[in-house]
């Protein structure tokens, strides 16, 4: 995640310099640069012994925002992605009418499609089995556009070590759902396709547990990719048990657990069960 570069000044102070900002003093004017791009020769002015520069223009050129707090008589410039900015995008672009639990928001800048710009992956943890997941894509004008949203409680996201032919990097998005006595953890293998659509190539169960009274049913699964033949192998083991006590901490296995294996091949950007 990129570090946050912040610049905060009181109104009576002058903005003299910030990360990546330079000013070149010539005879009558000062050229102001941000990251070596000129902002304008009339933008900055010397005044007495100091240099005055327009903080709004500087922050905008640094892809940031400036806000004025009249109560504390202070001006705040913020560059980089902040939780407040991501929360504002969710409020503006998310499902209309939905009341998001923004206290549970976390985010990360991740380059999911291998162009030069990272996207922003965000999740809201709304408590047991509740949550939201978002992907924001940076636009040419520097703004961020919501390109994917699901009411998922996302436990984790990570780039897979394997690459399938013709695919951008594949990410494993792990989600959790359930209810009373039910706990389901699923893996979604996803990638950005060439049309810029965030696509699910495969979904599989990592855990599916149901417990009711003294009955306990458990499915545990896992996968590996065979890069020799572009195949995804998936195994799952199913087991029944009886619960020993009210706390459901101990169980007694009933019968033999059953393990099955399925092979998936890549067809038109998705892993399809091999027949
Ligand atoms: Ca990108």
Residues near ion ligand 1 (Cβ under 5 Å): 111, 113, 115, 117
CA of 82 to the centre of ligand 1 (A): 18
4 has pLDDT over 60 = no
Token pair of 31 as six digits: 């050229």
CA distances from 14 to 4, 35, 66, 74, 75 (A): 21, 20, 15, 12, 11
15 has pLDDT over 70 = no
* pLDDT-above-90 percentage for the chain: 54
Pairing of strands 215-226, 198-212: antiparallel
Query: What does the pLDDT look like over 53-94, one tens digit per residue?
Result: 888 888 878 777 788 888 988 888 877 899 999 999 999 999
Token pair of 138 as six digits: 């940076």
CA of 177 to the centre of ligand 1 (A): 29
Pairing of strands 231-243, 215-226: antiparallel
Rounded to two decimals, what is the model's pTM?
0.77
Token pair of 220 as six digits: 């545990």
Q: For residues 54 and 17, what is the distance between their CA atoms, to the nearest angstrom?
A: 11
Query: What does the pLDDT look like over 105-137, one tens digit per residue?
Result: 999 999 999 788 899 999 999 887 899 999 999
97 has pLDDT over 50 = yes
Q: For residues 174 and 206, what is the distance between their CA atoms, to the nearest angstrom?
A: 9
Q: For residues 162 and 230, what is the distance between their CA atoms, to the nearest angstrom?
A: 10
Give me the count of residues in the chain: 275
pLDDT at 119: 95
CA of 64 to the centre of ligand 1 (A): 19
Is 124:104 a contact under the CB 8 Å cutoff? yes
CA of 72 to the centre of ligand 1 (A): 38
CA of 168 to the centre of ligand 1 (A): 10
Q: Which residue has the higher pLDDT, 189 or 77?
A: 189
Residue given tokens 């780039």 in the structure block? 159
How much is the mean pLDDT over the chain?
Answer: 85
CA of 136 to the centre of ligand 1 (A): 10
Going by pLDDT thresholds of 50, 70 and 90, the confidence category of residue 247 is low
Q: For residues 161 and 22, what is the distance between their CA atoms, to the nearest angstrom?
A: 41
Is 248:211 a contact under the CB 8 Å cutoff? yes
Residue 161, SS3? Answer: coil
pLDDT at 9: 43
DSSP-assigned beta bridge partners for residue 199 = 191
CB-facing half-sphere around the CA of 125: CA atoms within 13 A = 9
CA of 209 to the centre of ligand 1 (A): 37
CA of 109 to the centre of ligand 1 (A): 9
CA of 172 to the centre of ligand 1 (A): 17
36-49 as b/e: b if 16+ CB within 10 A: eeebeeebbeeeee
Is 137:148 a contact under the CB 8 Å cutoff? no
CA of 192 to the centre of ligand 1 (A): 9
Query: What does the pLDDT look like over 43-54, one tens digit per residue?
Result: 677 777 777 888
12 has pLDDT over 60 = no
pLDDT at 186: 98
Query: What does the pLDDT look like over 139-151, one tens digit per residue?
Result: 888 889 999 999 9
Q: What is the DSSP letter of 104?
A: G
Q: For residues 265 and 255, what is the distance between their CA atoms, to the nearest angstrom?
A: 33
The secondary structure of the chain in percent helix, strand, coil, rounded to multiples of 5, reads: 10, 55, 35
């Amino acid at each position: 995640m990129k570090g946050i570069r912040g610049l905060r000044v009181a109104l009576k102070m002058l903005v003299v310099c910030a990360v990546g900002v330079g000013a070149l003093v010539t005879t009558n004017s000062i050229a102001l640069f941000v990251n070596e791009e000129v902002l304008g020769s009339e933008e900055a002015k010397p005044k007495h012994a100091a240099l005055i520069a327009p903080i709004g223009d500087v922050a905008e050129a640094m892809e940031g925002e400036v806000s004025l707090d009249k109560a504390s008589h202070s001006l705040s410039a913020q560059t980089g992605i902040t939780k407040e900015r991501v929360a504002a995008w969710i409020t503006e672009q998310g499902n209309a009418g939905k009341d998001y639990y923004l206290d549970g928001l976390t985010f990360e800048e991740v380059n999911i499609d291998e162009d030069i710009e990272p996207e922003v992956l965000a999740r809201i943890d709304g408590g047991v089995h509740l949550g939201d997941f978002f992907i924001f894509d940076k636009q040419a004008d520097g703004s961020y556009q919501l390109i994917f949203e699901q009411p998922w409680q996302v436990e984790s996201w990570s780039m897979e070590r394997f690459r399938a032919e013709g695919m951008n990097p594949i990410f494993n998005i792990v989600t959790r759902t359930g209810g009373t006595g039910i706990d389901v953890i699923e893996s979604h293998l996803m990638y950005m396709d060439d049309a810029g659509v965030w696509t699910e190539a495969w979904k599989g169960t990592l855990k599916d547990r149901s417990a009711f009274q003294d009955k306990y049913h458990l499915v545990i699964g896992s996968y590996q990719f065979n890069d020799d033949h572009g195949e995804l192998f998936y195994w799952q083991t199913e087991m029944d048990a009886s619960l020993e006590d009210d706390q459901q901490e101990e169980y007694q296995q009933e019968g033999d657990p059953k393990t099955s294996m399925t092979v998936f091949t890549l067809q038109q950007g998705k892993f399809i069960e091999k027949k």
